[in-house]
Structure 1
Amino acid sequence: MNRSQISQFIFVFLFTFAGVLTSSAQSNTEQKGDRLYNNKEFAAAIHYYEKELENSDNLAVKRKLVYCYLKTLKDTKANFLLENIVASPNVVAEDYLLYANLLKRLRNYEKAKIWFKKYAELNPDDKNIDKLILSCDLINELEDKQLYSTESVSINSPQADFASAFYKNGLVFVSGRKNQTSREIDGRSGEYYLDMYFAEKSGDRFLQPESFSDEFNTKYHEGPACFSANEKFIFFTRNKGNLNLEGKSELNLYSARHNGKKWDKAELFQFSGKNYSMAHPSISPDGRNLFFISNMDGGYGGTDIYVCRKFGFAWSRPINCGPSINTDGNEMFPFIAEDGYLYFASDGHIGFGGLDIFKSIFEQNEWTYPVNLGPPFNTSKDDFGYLIGKNKDIGYFSSSRNGSDDIFEFKQNPDKIHSLSGRLIASTTKAGLKDVEVILMENLSKEKTTLSDDKGLFTFDIFKGKNYSLIVTKPGFKTKRILYFAQDDENTPKQLNISMDTTQWVKFNGNIIDQFSARAVKEASVQIINQTYRSNSVSISDEYGDFEQDIDPSKSYDIIIQKEGYFTKVINNYKYQSDKFEQIELQKFSTNQNMELYAVEFDPGAWELKKNTIQELNNLAGLLKVNPHISVEINGFTDQDKGKKENKILCEKRAKLAAEYIISKGITANRVQYKSSGFDSGRSALVVKLIEAF
């Protein structure tokens, strides 16, 4: 859902007291506005609050009216009213913060910084304020270099249109336009309830949009959606209008299969329907990972991005994507692309204001720090719903930059593209080298990969005015990093000639066995990462558990060994030793498996973490970090019986402190539970139980 429609997902109001400020002498007009306001019908409440302020200077009404303006994207009116509020003698710190954030959305960064600092003077303990001030300085570094052209697509309406998905030869998108299933107006946004639509594309233009499915669209909100690669499965968001015990309207994920003629009845996704929301699905091209957002307990902020992994016919429990991706703000609209990059919208990372679009990739078993896509994708308004095709020649995103949510199409600007060609030769013979891997890097982002042809030639299309680096590697030759600096057309070389020196490579041999049975583990993935150039190669163990890979013995490597049903093993800073055959043991796991932490020590009757205990917990945190599909429960025990009640209190304190320590190491809270297990003279003081292991 978009910011103007589903409040708890899009915008975190920065002073929550605005909704509870009341007066004992409320007028009839204010009371009517409050009834609509409390029902989250902000568009309808505006009329009564504006009427009330015609004859009143009520600060509480002004704050509620500002909130309504912001919820309905009336930033100019909100700005005018906030200027009045921050000049009031009864102004509070949260007014400064709200005004600063709005100024940032209006791209008045210098003035926003002034008001952020005023807020900081009154709230010096706010951990986010330094990041907000920094964002006002850094944002000017992200300039629009006109590398992409963008335009609003013809299927947009005067109402909200957003969050598209590729389907057949067109797009499925969400819209608040008048429709046949809702018919009623949503008082929160002043528009019709959201439905899903399909627009076929013919050449460069879209045909008239049609309702995507009468079976899926109801009188409440539907969308956005995503589809499996073969388009036989759909996952989509639905808000049935039900309120939970806290009075909040929850979003749920639904899925359905196409039987060849029509869509089967949509079914609730197995982890939906709880006392939290799930929305904005995106399925990976291989169908193994379903990304979505949720406000379930154990996250980092308002809404976080989670993933469920599919093994066979079962989905793992939701796995939080961790602190690299998620912040104390809102992360939303994930899209997992063909090349493995995760694109998402966030108002918690440093950006222009509102939601910005970022990208990250899962490398070496963790998500890289997100990169802001910059202009023209991001503005001071809300920008979200990024979508790009397999060939990367065309894509779409959504934005409120023109006053309401619209879908935009983007393409590479042909005037900014030119060809970077090169030839790889052996330094001794000057002969062209075939099958040299050439990786095009922009900063730390891997953009493209290719192999040289029979003559040693390769070509990339690159943007003019950008700096790149090339990493070239081939067994038997020294790996090189070539820096390519932006040049004007006159000085651009027609061809880069790269000479490669020979060096001795060796065969890195290994054998993977089960730790307990000593039997060979076949089809295990062995990822070998060159620490200097961050390039990697992958081998698969054979039926005997053996694998072999060419490596440069002068380099250091990180090695990641993975196999379904086993703990992932990571070997850091590996240096090759001649004539040594590496045998690697993998430990199998299963749910409800217990691991005794035998080195754990507590003083009698105490729960403080001692040196040996901290070391054991560091090992556990390391295990959880490289196995993001694992969730655990820490059970606290005592070997001294002080009575059932005292035993329970002591053991709970031990388990809780251990769990908090693990979480402090960057492990998401929803992966670490704790429990008091009481007296048992034969158990370690801390026992770890695997409660989820896929």
Structure 2
Amino acid sequence: MKQIRLAVFSLIIIVLSGCGSAKHGREALLSQDIGEYYKAIEKYKKARKKEKDRTKRIEYAYNIAECYRAIGQYDYAAQNYKFAIRLGYPAPEALLHYANMLRITQKFEEATETYRTYLDSVPGDTRALEGIEAMRKTQEWVANPTRHIINPIKEINKTGSDFAPVFVGGRDNEIIFTSSRKSSTGKKESMITGQAYTDLFRATFSVQRQKWEEPKLLDQNLIINTGDEEGAATLNSTGEQMIFTRCRYDKAQAMGAELYSTSQSRGSWSDPIKVQVIGDSLTAAHPALSPDGSMLYFVSDKPGGQGGKDIWRAPAEGGTFGKAVNLGAAINTEGDEMFPFVRDNDELYFASNGHIGMGGFDIFKAIEDENGVWKVENMGSPMNSSADDFGIAFVTGENKGMFSSNRKGSRGDDIYSFLVPPKIYQVEGEIFDKETNSKLDGATVRIIGTDGTNLKMRAQNGKFKMKLKPETEYIFAAYKDGFLRDKAAANTIGLDDSRDFRFEMYLTPTDAPIKVDNINYEFGSWELLESSKVALDTLVQILVFNPTITIELMAHTDHVGSDQFNFDLSQKRAQSVVDYLIEKGINPDRLVAKGYGETWPKTITRKMANQYDFLKRNDELTEEFILKLTPAQQEIATAINRRTEFRVLSTDFIEKFDAEPEK
């Protein structure tokens, strides 16, 4: 983000060794030390232009890069790091920072090469290894975006910086946010960002116009907004109490950031009172009240943290707050963690440039378990980008809200809306004739769900479509006269995202024998091989799913051997299949075993003709036909004739159950 956020936060002091002899160099170093990065850049540029000493010019170039990095102008930072490195800046740290800027601006190949060069000088450096991992994760997040829909709020965003929105009373029709727009009361130019001082503004949504009205200063009486900088606020659940950040200045010198509390009555705000959560000489900013008001989260660089700016929290004690506690290493890093927000389900959201992310600052979600252990998760794309993303807020009870970003297309720090649409589940099925592979019109689909759904629908042109309910299992059964049924299933239980279920169902016509694949016997025997039972279990399922059909099990042999031997063998093989099906619980009244020996040669189907180029559809594999083939083709043809099939004899079987015996 364009580091206007720094103007409503404590100024980080970056201590650098050495001091230039020229006036501009000394002034630039002083400005950088106290966090006036914008002013420092201008001074360094003047100093570099006049400086003749090569060593100092290299140092100025590096310091300019550091200042650009601090205010989030990563392209300019990259250019100046590159310049300093080319001139011979001695510390390898420049390579690491340059690689980070290349990564943030998504120049991944060059960034990878630069990280590796740095690792040659500083083997195993965790920061470089995490930078490489961040590139891998970034590409993964972009390739697998979340369901968030984001849009800039054009009516609110102006030239300058608009950021850190909070919803008044948790409702979606009114926000308070921070802005450096021209209508702010702070007319001075920030030494940190070069922009005007920030103020708090209010915007309301017009239901009639279906757009946001022109934002106005939160406080026309200038009780909240002053000649100093105000911003980064939080509200209690009713919107009547507000805690906000104020960065005071004395003769243009920053005095640090502080938290102030005020309350609203009949549209007027009370005089702000300083909130004592840390010592007077320390800084605090970016407040966030928990939904029940029992805890105040805030950001500070006070001693006892993990490094940089950390998130702390302090319990409410009457009208004050108790001892602040650092959220620990799971949340806070050596980098900066800022802009906390606590959702009404107690999830913590914050921005960080220390955790592995996509750009400068990313938004993270953190959940604390009953043992006080935090689980932190990057919100991924599109919520995060290669730029700075921060300052999120949710509407109470809903999966939507706003956040801040200076991503591509922004005019500085802009406010974006986000919405996670409701999860939608739907199924789309196609029904085919298994023999012809063409769509089957006029089939009926029965749908049964664990939520009590029990309905029928007619497939039109071989297709059907319907919406499904969450947390439900469904079975779809397709059937049509003259065909065996087929089924499919869909399950929405535990799904985090919307999903479209698509499947194909194949109904087998019953006007011709149906081959059962992979039924094999011992050579010259009717004993079923163990491997055949898997295929026969499929046949059991067909009979269970089609409870009104009776079938004839048909066993066939090839022409090798005597007619009588082949007939007897095929009959026994058919009976073996019937016996197996009976063992599996199929009513014997539904089964007829019939051996045909070699008397019923196979007629080639369209599917088989596509499989074997020497066969055509409707070819009959008689002995005479087979003997005209090559030896290799004869072997295939005789194997085709050795088969087990079934054909449907009737479709009106009704299972009869024995009456309960009298006692």
Q: TM-score, normalised by structure 2?
A: 0.60
Change (3 A) 1:239 1:486: closer
| Partner residue in 2 for 1:601 | none
Partner of 1:362: 368
User: What is the SS of the residue equivalent to 2:418?
Assistant: strand
Residue 208 of structure 1: how far off its partner (Å): 0.8
Alignment of 1:292-371 (within 5 A): 292-310=298-316, 312-313=318-319, 315-371=321-377
Take 1:318 and 1:258, find their aligned partners in 2: how far apart are those partners?
26
Name the larger-Rg structure.
2
TM-fit CA distance, 1:334? 0.7
The yes-or-no answer on 1:43 pairing with 2:38 is: yes
Rate the CA distance shift 1:362–1:281 in 2: closer, same or farther, 3 A: same
| Residues 10 and 283 in structure 2, CA contact (< 8 A), matched pair in contact too | no
Q: Using the alignment, how far apart are the partners of 1:158 and 1:278 within structure 2?
A: 27
Structure-2 residue corresponding to 1:543:
none
| Letter of the 1:337 counterpart | R
Q: Secondary structure at the match of 1:192?
A: coil
| Offset, 1:384 | 0.4
Q: In the aligned structure 2, how far is the partner of 1:484 from the partner of 1:182?
A: 46
Distance 1:484 1:177 in 2: 40
Q: State the partner residue of 2:175.
A: 171
- Output the CA distance in 2 between the equivalents of 1:225 and 1:392: 21
Counterpart contact for 1:226–1:283, Cα < 8 Å: yes
Q: Does 1:187 align with 2:171?
A: no
Give yes or no for contact 2:348–2:366 (8 Å, CA) kept in 1. Answer: yes
Match of 1:225 in 2: 233
Task: Provide closer, same or farther for how the CA distance between residues 7 and 180 of structure 1 changes in structure 2, counting only shifts above 3 A.
Answer: closer
Q: Given that residues 390 and 404 in structure 2 are in contact (C-alpha distance below 8 angstroms), is that contact kept between their aligned partners in structure 1?
A: yes
Q: Which residue of 2 aligns with 1:620?
A: none
| 8 Å contact kept, 2:426–2:501 | no
Q: 1:143-192 CA deviation, whole Å, 9 max, x = no partner?
A: 25372322211211111110000026311000112245322111221111
Identity within the alignment, %:
29
CA pair 403-101 structure 1, distance change in 2 beyond 3 A: farther
Task: Report if the CA contact (8 A) 2:11-2:256 is conserved.
Answer: no
Does 1:208 pair with 2:214? Answer: yes
* Cα deviation 1:326-357 (Å, max 9, x = unaligned): 22221111111112211111111111121100
1:147 aligns with 2:147: yes
Of 380, 385, 391 in structure 1, the residue corresponding to residue 386 of structure 2 is: 380
Alpha-carbon deviation of 1:132? 2.7
Question: Partner letter of residue 226 of structure 1?
Answer: T
- CA RMSD in angstroms comes to 3.6
Cα distance in 1 for partners of 2:72, 2:497 equals: 42
Distance, in Å, in 1 between the alignment partners of 2:145 and 2:226 is 43
Query: Do 1:73 and 1:404's aligned partners in 2 also have CA atoms closer than 8 Å?
Result: no
What is the aligned counterpart of 2:292 among 286, 300, 312? 286
Residue matched to 2:413: 405
5 Å-filtered alignment, 1:478-493, equals 488-491=500-503
Provide the rounded CA distance (Å) in 2 between the counterparts of 1:9 and 1:192: 15
8 Å CA contact 1:9–1:303 kept in 2: the answer is no
Give the structure with the larger helix fraction. 2
Q: Distance in 2 between matches of 1:265 and 1:259?
A: 12
Paired residue for 2:203, among 199, 205, 212?
Answer: 199
Q: Deviations over 1:250-275 (max 9, x none)?
A: 21111122234522221111224523
Checking the alignment, whether the CA contact within 8 Å between 1:419 and 1:459 is kept in structure 2 is: no
- Alpha-carbon distance between aligned partners in 2 of 1:53 and 1:297, rounded to the nearest angstrom: 35
List aligned pairs for 1:69-84, cutoff 5 A.
69-84=68-83
Q: Does 1:241 align with 2:249?
A: yes
SS in 2 for 1:96: helix
Any conservation in 1 of the 2:41–2:67 contact (CA below 8 Å)? yes
Letter in 2 for 1:22: C
Q: CA deviation at 1:242?
A: 5.8
The residue that corresponds to 1:21 in the other structure is 18
Displacement of 1:312 after TM fit?
A: 5.0
SS in 1 for 2:111: helix
Partners of 1:39 and 1:93 in 2: CA distance: 25
> Paired residues, what number?
441
CA distance in 2, matches of 1:487, 1:150: 20
Take 1:72 and 1:305, find their aligned partners in 2: how far apart are those partners?
20
The match for 1:515 is none
Alignment of 1:526-541 (within 5 A): none
Hey, what's the Cα distance between the residues in 2 that align with 1:171 and 1:325?
27
Superposition deviation, residue 489 in structure 1: 4.4
AA at the equivalent of 1:164: P
For 1:35 and 1:315, the matched residues in 2 are separated by 36
Aligned residue runs from structure 1 range 379-458, under 5 A: 379-401=385-407, 402=410, 404-412=412-420, 417-418=424-425, 424=450
SS at match of 1:280: strand
TM-score (norm 1): 0.57
- Counterpart position of 1:569: none
Which residue pairs with 2:64 in the alignment? Answer: 65
Match of residue 137 from structure 2: 138
Residue-by-residue CA offset, 1:354-409 (whole Å, 9 max, x unaligned): 11001012222324321111111111211101111124253111012136211111
Cα distance change on mapping 1:52 and 1:276 into 2, 3 Å: closer
Structure 2 residue identity aligned to 1:197 = F
Deviation per residue, 1:190-242 (Å, 9 max, x gap):
11111100011113411111111221111111111111111121111111226
Structure 2: tracts of 5 or more residues without a match: 428-446, 455-467, 473-489, 506-663
Answer whether contact 2:335 2:353 (CA < 8 A) is retained: yes
Q: Is the 8 A contact 1:179 1:192 kept in 2?
A: no
Q: Is the 8 A contact 2:287 2:339 kept in 1?
A: yes
Corresponding residue of 1:121: 120
